[in-house]
Structure formats: structure tokens, C-alpha cells
Amino acid sequence: MMDQSRGIYKSVLDAIGSTPLIKLSRLTKNLDGNILAKMEYLNPGFSKKDRIALQMIEEAEKSGVLKPGQTVVELTSGNTGTGLAIVCGVKGYPFVAVMSKGNTDERARMMRSLGAEVVLVEQIPGSTPGTVSGESLERVELQTQRIVEERGAFRCNQFDLMGNLNAWYSHAGREILQQTNGDFDAFCDFIGTGGTFAGLTKVFKEFDPSILCYIIEPINAAVLTGNKVISRGDHKIQGGGYSMSNLKFLNFVSIDGTLQVTDEEAYSTARKLANKEGIFAGPSSGANVHGALQLLKGPLQGKTVVVILCDSGLKYLSTDLWT
């Protein structure tokens, strides 16, 4: 909590959330409609996942499943791990992040710098460097389970703990409703765990059931669209698109539709966000904005679409996203 009388935060944890919402006027210049982008990469760990890290740890402390000083372990594509490294560091829990080697090196270095132990898991043979398929993720999952057992650790499982969904439902979603006065028509989101999509969809539809909520998937791993996985589902949009059709959080909401995005579309839109809007975000943010542009060019002409800008472009400096 902030010391209201002096405007001083007690720790960096109080700087999580309350991010700005920005109208992408340049990208929509020749279109009828608006895109409102929530700047989640301005969180202390430079991604939206700081929110769920804080929420999951605080819920676990409250319920007593996390004991003082107990080791926390989580499978991560880097962003939840960074959030957990920050939250666990400040609160005094040792933290182990288990991540595929398919994710960028910046993420591992950042987590280590924040005090985490980082365990990197080889991709499945034949994988393209810089991609994380569902099969590669299964390997990371097995390694995570092993470490949790060996260390008697608390598994901060972002695919399962309701703190993931609740962070979006109770905080970010309410911020967006307040920032917009509820005046928007749709929301679209590239999903990993589906926590962002489900938490926001739940709060938006409770406010106004006519708000349309769309899932975005990589074109070659569009399982929720009902498509077959192509080329093992390898793609370059880190943080999601794991071709999982059994995501727990999606059971809590209805889905109005799905959109597909290619690596090139996600990348080129992230580049346009940077050079047209001055917003330096990663490929999944590009995927989200591309989805919103598709909606404005198609069924939602003249409408307003909300998107999340998930993480910072700085996390991709070693990739071909930037020249």
C-alpha cells in the first residue's frame, strides 16, 4: 500500500498495476474504429505477469499453502518468472524458474539478476531455435514437477491457480472499465494460460454481456479454432499459443470467436507499434493489435477494441524482431 500522505510506495510491489490505456490513433488512421491498448509492459518486471505473480503469492500466503521461507517453483516463458522473482525477492521466498531454452536469453538473465535460480530445459529434438511448441513445454512441465517434489516447494502453477484469473478479474479489468467508462465494444487476446482472457472476459461480460471477446491463436496452432496443428505448432510468438485445448480458465467464460495470426503479422505489427506509436512491445502485443485491426477491418468496423500490450520489446533484443 502507498503511504498516501507522502506518495511513497512501501516497495516495488505497490508499483504493480494501474497502467495507462492508450488510443492507437496512428495505427488506425485510415480505419473506422479505435484500438485502446493497456500498457502492461510498464509494470516493474516489464510485463503483464507481475500482476498474477503478486496475486498468486498473496492468495497462497492467505490460504496458508505457502509457508514462510518456503521455496517457490514455476514453469515460465520468462515473464511470470520475472514477476515471481520480484515478488518472492521482496517477500523473502527462494524462487526457481523452469524455462524452455526456446525462450530468449534476456529473460533468464533478468530472472537471475533478480535473485532467481533459473533451470533451462532443452527443446525437443528438431525444434526451431527461438520457438516453444506444446511438446517442448511438456518437457519443461516434467522438469518442474521433479524440482517441486525434490525441494518440497510450493508450485506457483499459473495454469491452475485462480490468482492468475483473479488478477485480471479483480484489478486490470476493473481498471479498464474505469478508464473507458465501460465505453468499448470488444476485446481480443493471444492466449497462453488463458488467465488474461478469462479474467477480463468475465469482468467485461458481467458489466455488459454484449462486449465481444475473441481469442487469438498462432495460425499453425489454432486448436481452439478447431484446426489441426501444423509443423508441431512451432511459432515465434513467445508466451502463448501452446496448442492446448484443455485450458482450465477457459471453462469460466464464453468465447465469442477466434482469430489467427502468423509470426510475420505479429512481428510486423510490433514493429509498427514501435515506429508509428512509440510503443516498444513484444510479438504477443503485436498479435493482439493485429487481431484488433482484423476486427476493425472486418466485422467490427466503427467499433472500439481493447487489447493488452503484454511485455517490453527489450525482452526480444536478441531476436530477429528488431533490426
Contact 208, 182 (CB under 8 A): yes
Site for ligand PLP (CB under 6 A): which residue of 53, 73, 261, 310? Answer: 310
Binding positions for ligand PLP, 74-113, rule CB under 6 A: 77, 79-80
Amino acid at 25: S
Which residue among 49, 101, 248, 315 is the active-site one? 49
Counting Cα atoms < 13 Å in the Cβ hemisphere of 159 gives: 16
Which of these ranges, 89-97, 145-153, 176-184, 234-242, lies near ligand PLP under the rule CB under 6 A? 234-242
DSSP 3-state assignment of 231?
helix
Q: How far is the CB of 3 from ligand PLP (least distance, A)?
A: 31
Q: Does 248 bind ligand PLP (CB under 6 A)?
A: no
196 belongs to the binding site for ligand PLP (CB under 6 A): yes
172 vs 167: CA distance, rounded Å: 7
Question: Quick check: 282 binds ligand PLP (CB under 6 A)?
Answer: yes
Q: Which residue is nearest to ligand PLP (CB)?
A: 239
**Which residue, chain included where needed, has cell 512491445?**
281
CA 291-293-297 angle, to 5 degrees, is 120
Q: Binding of ligand PLP at residue 243 (CB under 6 A)?
A: no
Catalytic, 49? Answer yes
Tell how strand 72-75 and strand 8-9 pair up.
Answer: unpaired
Task: Please report, as residue ranges, which positions from 30 to 69 form the binding site for ligand PLP (by CB under 6 A).
Answer: 47, 49
Indicate whether 195 belongs to the interface with ligand PLP (CB under 6 A).
Answer: yes
Provide the terminal-to-terminal Cα distance of the chain, rounded to the nearest Å: 41
What DSSP assignment string belongs to 163-204?
HHHHIIIIIIHHHHHHHHTT---EEEEE-SSSHHHHHHHHHH
Instruction: List, in order, residues 6 or more apart from 243 with CB less than 8 Å away.
Output: 133, 134, 221, 223, 229, 233
Q: Which of 131, 193, 304, 319 is the binder for ligand PLP (CB under 6 A)?
A: 193
Query: How many of the chain's residues bind ligand PLP (CB under 6 A)?
Result: 20
User: Least separation, in Å, of the C-beta of 64 and ligand PLP?
Assistant: 26
Residues that bind ligand PLP (CB under 6 A): 47, 49, 77, 79-80, 190-197, 238-240, 282, 284, 310-311
- Residues serving a catalytic function are 49, 284
